[in-house]
Structures are given as C-alpha cells and as structure tokens.
Amino acid sequence: MCGIIGEFSNKSIEESQFRKMTSLLSHRGIDDSGVYIDGQVALGHTRLSIIDLSRDAHQPMSDRDGRYTIVYNGEIYNYQELRRELLSRGCLFESLSDTEVILNGFIEYGERVVDRLDGMFSFVIYDRVEGELFMARDRDGIKPLYYYLDGDRFTFSSEIKVLEKYSSGISMDAEILFLLLGYVPEPITIYKDIAMFPAGEYAYYKNGKLKREKYNRYNYEPKIIKPYGEIVDDVTDLLHKSIKSHLISDAPIGIFLSGGLDSSAITSIASRYQKELKTISLVFDETSLNEEYYQDLIVDRYRTEHTKYMVTKDRFFDNVDRFISHMDQPTIDGLNTFFVSGVANEIGLKSVLSGVGGDEIFYGYKSFRDARKLNFLSGLPYPMIKILQKPYKYRRLELLRAEGDLSCYLPTRSLFAPTDIADILHIDISYIYRLISNLWEEYNSSHITLLDDKISFFEMNLYMKNQLLRDADIFGMANSIEIRVPFLDRDLVDYLQRVEPNHKYDKMTNKILLADATRSLLPREIIDRPKAGFVLPFEKWLRSDIDRFDMGQGVRDDFLHGRLSWSRAWADIVLKKFEMGSR
C-alpha cells in the first residue's frame, strides 16, 4: 500500500519541487520513497511495505531495459499465480513483489493485463520509447487515482490535496451532490478542474490527450441455476479462497472486528489460516451503542489477540480536527475507520481486513427492502406524492421524481431532499434535478433486469465506492494502515451477482446466504441478531459542545430542536470546512 504521484509536462520538471510534492504523501508510505525523472516526465512513490519488504521492490520500478517504469498502489492477491505464468513465458524477475508482476504483465500482455489482476490497485506505467503513460484502476474503486489535465500538463496523485493548487475553487456541483448523498460521486470531485480517474477503466495519455476505456463492469446475468444448498457450498468455498488470499502478507496483519455478521464471518474463517490472529474493536461508554458482547463472543471462540479501544467524547474532540484535516473529500462517515486504523498502527500492524462489501453483495441494507415500496409509490400521480412528502420526515419522497431507477433508491439513501439543498445553497431546485439526471447518465442501471440487482448496482457504484472505500483508503492511510476488503474478491463478487435475489432474503435472518455459509463457525447470537449499522454517539457529543463548530444558523436551530439528524448537521460542518479552506 502506497502513495503514487506523477507529472507529464511540456516543460522540464524541477526535481526538488517534485520531491516536495511526493513528500506530501509520506504518511501513505513510511518505509521508503523514490522518484524517477526523465526530462518532462516525473514519477514519485511512497511505500508502505507489505509484500517483499526488501529494497528489490523499491518504486518507481523500471524493467531491465529501462523502457518501462511503474508506480503502483495496491495489492494483487493472485500475483504468485501470475508470476508463475509469466516465468513460463520467459519473463525474468529481480524481486518477489506484485509490482514487478504488473510491470512484466504489461510488457507481455499490454493493456489486457488488467483482466488478469485480482486485487485492489491504481497504477501508472511510463513508456519511454512511445512517450506515453498507461494507467488503470480496479473495478471496485478500492484504490484512488486523482488527476489534473490541461494543455500544459497531466498530473496525478493518490490524494487530491496534492493537486488542490491546480484547482480554481470549490465545485458547486460537488457541494450539491454531497448534500444529496453524503459524499461526492466520481468522476467529479469537490475541487473544480480535478477529477477522479474512474474505477474499472484504463487509459493512455499522450500528446496532451487522455484516452479512456472501460475494461470491466458488474454483471448480474446470466443467473446461476442451482439448488440453494449447492450455492451455499460454492459461496463457502469462495469465501475461504478470498480470505486466505487476503491474509498473504510479509508484514503484520489483523482484522477489524465490529461484532456484526460480516467481520465475525471474516474472523472465523481467517482463524483457520493464521495463528495468533489479531483483532481490533471500538467500544463506547454508551451502553446502547456498545457491541462489546458480540465482539467478545468471537474473541473467546477463536482466542484472538484482541485490542479494545474506548472512544469517548474527549477522544472525539481531541482528534476531530486531525480527522477533518485528512479528509480528502467531504464525507459524513469515516470516523470509526480513522480511530480503529490508529489503534492498528499503535499495536504494530501494517494491514487489516475489513467487512466492507458484505451488505452490498449479500443484500443486507434497508435500501433493498425499501425498493419495492418506492417502485410502487413512484407510479402514483405527482399531486399525491406531494401530499405524502409534506411531513418533514417524508420530505425525501420528493426524490420519487428522480430519473430512472434512482427513484427507487434515492428516497432511502439521500441525505437532504432537493428542496432543502436549494434552501441551504440558495439555488434553483431545477438545477439540482438536472444534476440528478446527470447522475443517472453516469450510473445508469438500465442494463440490469431485476430491481434488487439494480439496488445492488447503486450500492456498489455509489455508496460503497464513493464513501466506504474512499473513507477506508484515506483514513486508513492517514494512520499508515492498508485496509483490505475480502468480500470484494473478484470471483466471489462475480458469483454472487449472478445468484437469484430470492436466495439472499429470509424473513428471520438478514444476509441469509452469508449466515448459512458460516453457520457452523459462528455463535447463534451473531447469526440471529438484527442488522445494526456502526454508530458513534455523535448526536450527544455535538450537542454537548455545539459552539465549537461552524454551521449555518438554520441548520443549527433545526438540529438543536430535534428537527434535523446529526448526520445532516455534520454534513453542514464538513462542507463549511472545505469552503473555508478554499478561500
């Protein structure tokens, strides 16, 4: 896990200035750093050593002839298999790293190397002979890659703050979408002129032009026709394969254990493949929010080396400024990741497994259950919908007007209703709906047949990619911790997306397919407990010291009088931090 940066300019690059830019990513890679400069091209890298800890894996890494040079951030879980394949084809290796596997793979297969990679990655390869860059990003968007492009230069980085100086200011479109969703959906970013390179794409940059191509997307068909018992067996095997491969590391590795089904399932399977397994949990002095009982069930059963960290109001206020300072783009989430990654660093870990992706592939969110109701309501005459949305708590039903299948998703998942956003930003509501129409064009689910699968498509491409995975990267790396997500294993995701939705639902048990695949490994209390999202005592803490934060007077009053949830008040606080920082 690393930080990467680079520039292709029409002018010679000043080495000292580029090294200074590279150093801004030092927290992403505390073990090593390096730069490569070839006239008008510069590549930089900061390394958190996970695979092949030797100097042989130093980056930027060039091939034996010096034609190709790579900078890479991520982990390839099938790199040993690919290495053997490349060796059989006559490729030579000077390291045991997955970086060299990607580099030799590109030399051997060209752009189609991306089809062979199972893992999380963003990388850029410079071809000195052709004078061009090749870049790619994993399908799920686990690893970020931001870029700035104008007529004089192309600059990229793992973190947007390195590129902020090229921006002309905060994007109003991004502000609107943040208030709508709680995050900024790629490819746009909070800063004008800076974009996120899209997940599941590769591109070539040459002569001032970036040519992008999609190479992979989620496929929900054809459906798998098998008895349920066989599907459970297949999923069990795929879970074991994924978690075993995600434990491959030459550095200390552990697991975030929340006490929910997802992290408990990962821990139970991981314990079969790694001795002295380390787990980490957050606990609270707020009894109603504490999941310590469920965490202890897993810790006791699998005798993990467990660390608990008590998150208190004082610790929240002591760390909130640092948390926001690391926030690459506005988000209403991520504080739990920030805290638990800090603990992982303190106990000497370099990498940690997370349960992100479980709800998306096993259909665990409320949005799946709400979709059919919203689909029915969207067919009602508009005057009737206006009556239904009059009470404030139903205000978001106005998003039944959203284009396409978003009408079955946004009323559940939105943060603010368009009417509220228009009031907060003092803009015309019609502009907000034009942005929602653009969102539909970017995240169109028309190629998917079943409504449940459409919701999965939205959850994976919108919420998971733009909030959960982005937060995991930025706040994990703020503490020099790599976060791995075994539920997003390529084979596991490809299989589960083709399982009929009815196999994923049960009236009594949430995520029944995952529950049945791990039933013999987990305590009944874990299997039978209702879905519970990870919640911090945010509302109580905010109310206790509200004057510490800058927020709009209307938002402040609504929050203090119980008319507004803490997440919406927090969104206003976060957005104002970005607005002030850009001045």
**Among 262, 190, 280, 221, CA closest to 481:** 280
**Any residues with CB less than 8 A from the CB of 580 and at least 6 apart, and which?**
550
- Which amino acid makes up residue 323? F
Helix pair angle (335-346, 313-326), 10° resolution: 100
> Largest Cα–Cα distance of the chain, in whole Å?
70
Residue 298 and residue 257 in contact, taking contact as beta carbons nearer than 8 Å: yes
Q: In terms of C-beta distances under 8 Å and separation of at least 24 residues, what long-range contacts does 538-547 make, across chains too?
A: 538/335, 538/566, 538/567, 538/570, 539/565, 539/566, 540/286, 540/313, 541/313, 541/316, 541/317, 542/566, 542/569, 542/570, 544/313, 545/317
**Facing residues of 203 across strands?**
135, 212
**Facing residues of 16 across strands?**
none
- Which amino acid makes up residue 525? E
**H or E segment at 253?**
strand 253-256
Name the one residue in this structure whose structure tokens are 């830019």: 21
**Any residues with CB less than 8 A from the CB of 69 and at least 6 apart, and which?**
36, 38, 43, 60, 61, 62, 63, 125, 126, 128
The residues assigned a catalytic role are 2
**Facing residues of 124 across strands?**
71, 135
Q: How many CB atoms lie within 10 A of CB 291?
A: 19
How would DSSP label each residue in 298-362?
HHHHHT-EEEEEEE-HHHHHHHHHHHHHH-SS--S--HHHHHHHHHHHHTT-SEEE--TTHHHHH
Name the one residue in this structure whose structure tokens are 């300019």: 9
Rounded Cα gap, residues 205 and 126, in angstroms: 10
**Any residues with CB less than 8 A from the CB of 262 and at least 6 apart, and which?**
355, 358, 359, 487, 511, 514
**Facing residues of 309 across strands?**
282
Provide the token pair at 129: 């002979």
Give CA torsion, residues 556, 561, 563, 565, to 10 deg: 60
Rounded Cα gap, residues 238 and 230, in angstroms: 12
